[in-house]
Amino acid sequence: MSEVREKVSEVLAEAKKVIFGQDRLLDSLVAALVCDGHLLIEGMPGLGKTLSVSVMSKLCDLSFQRIQFTPDLLPSDLVGTMIYSQEREEFTTKFGPIFTQLLLADEINRSPAKVQSALLEAMAEKQVTIGENTHGLSSPFVVLATQNPIEQEGTYPLPEAQMDRFMMKVYVDYPDKEAEKKIITLDAHPLANLNPLLSTDDLLEMKELVSKIYVDDKVQDFIVNLVHATRPGTPEFFPEYAGVIMAGASPRASIWLYRLGQFNAFMNGKDFVSPEDILQIAPSVLGHRVLLTYEAAIDQVNPREIVVEIAKKLM
């Protein structure tokens, strides 16, 4: 077990030689690869979101495709289409860039809803339908989507159903002065010197080990109570949030809190999950799933902070 953990730590150490000041993002990328979950990364342009994903795909030796989402992108540009061959007098399937292990959906909220919804089947079912045929996707298949803050011009907010498909939403902030000083001296082609350190087999082995981490009944109750406490109308819901929370998290949130709690415990060298492991990832798992009332949104209430408050009350 410690051997695989050391390999992952080595991958993170190598990545941090190229990506400065974004440690939380890199940790979340590894969690997404091991837990086979999709990641939504939000931040202003130029903060290293795309580079982080490229670095991780190189270090983990995964097939990688990048799609720049634009207002004129079509669903067929993403999943592929049927092409008629006059020579053979038959239709053949032209597969799109979604047929990869690591898909970077860059600036996902700059494309219209039709394209965003084309990702739904792939993210949920790990398969794509082209024409009358359904094609399975490779394993692992992880969508790492970047988006600009929705206040920016030319952005389309993601629908709630698609937001719920993402395991976590990670916010990327500006680096501190020390990190930025390292960024300006960075080599022009940082990916050229990187060599693969993890294989697909290593990731699958780690996934197996993480799934064996013990989760006590009390911790399972804590996870379920936490998710229920975000839903108005349940016995666990705290009355003080009645005018703040409009809708709570789905059962998917419980599943990801459970799996990511196991991942956190594994990375911390433990063989059991503690409530602290859950608290650590609760804002990223629940923050984008808790819908605020119009009044709370106007008052700029942060759902991530509310989630932490609720979790601490339940602990």
Domain boundaries, the chain: 2-72+99-204, 213-314
Rounded Cα–Cα distance for residues 89 and 290 (Å) = 52
Per-residue pLDDT of the chain (315 residues; tens, 9 = 90+): 577 788 888 888 888 888 887 888 888 888 888 888 899 988 887 777 788 888 888 888 888 888 888 888 888 888 888 787 777 777 777 888 888 888 888 888 887 777 877 777 788 888 887 777 788 888 788 888 888 776 556 667 777 777 888 999 988 888 888 888 888 877 767 777 778 888 888 888 888 888 899 999 999 999 999 999 999 989 888 888 888 888 888 999 999 999 999 999 998 888 899 999 999 999 999 988 988 888 888 888 888 999 999 989 887
Strand blocks (E) in 52-126: 64-68, 80-85, 90-95, 102-106
**What tokens does 244 get?**
């703040």
**What tokens does 219 get?**
């911790």
Q: What's the distance, CA 196 to chain centroid?
A: 22
What architecture is domain 2-72+99-204?
A: 3-Layer(aba) Sandwich (3.40)
Rounded Cα–Cα distance for residues 66 and 114 (Å) = 19
Q: For the chain, how many residues are written?
A: 315
Say which CATH class 213-314 falls into: mainly alpha
Q: What is the pLDDT of residue 193?
A: 75
**Same fold across 2-72+99-204 and 213-314:** no
Sequence-distant (≥ 6) Cβ neighbours of residue 246 within 8 angstroms:
232, 291, 292, 293, 296
- Beta 133-136 vs 127-130: how paired, if at all? antiparallel
Q: What is the pLDDT of residue 132?
A: 76
Closest residue by Cα to residue 206 from 22, 26, 36: 36
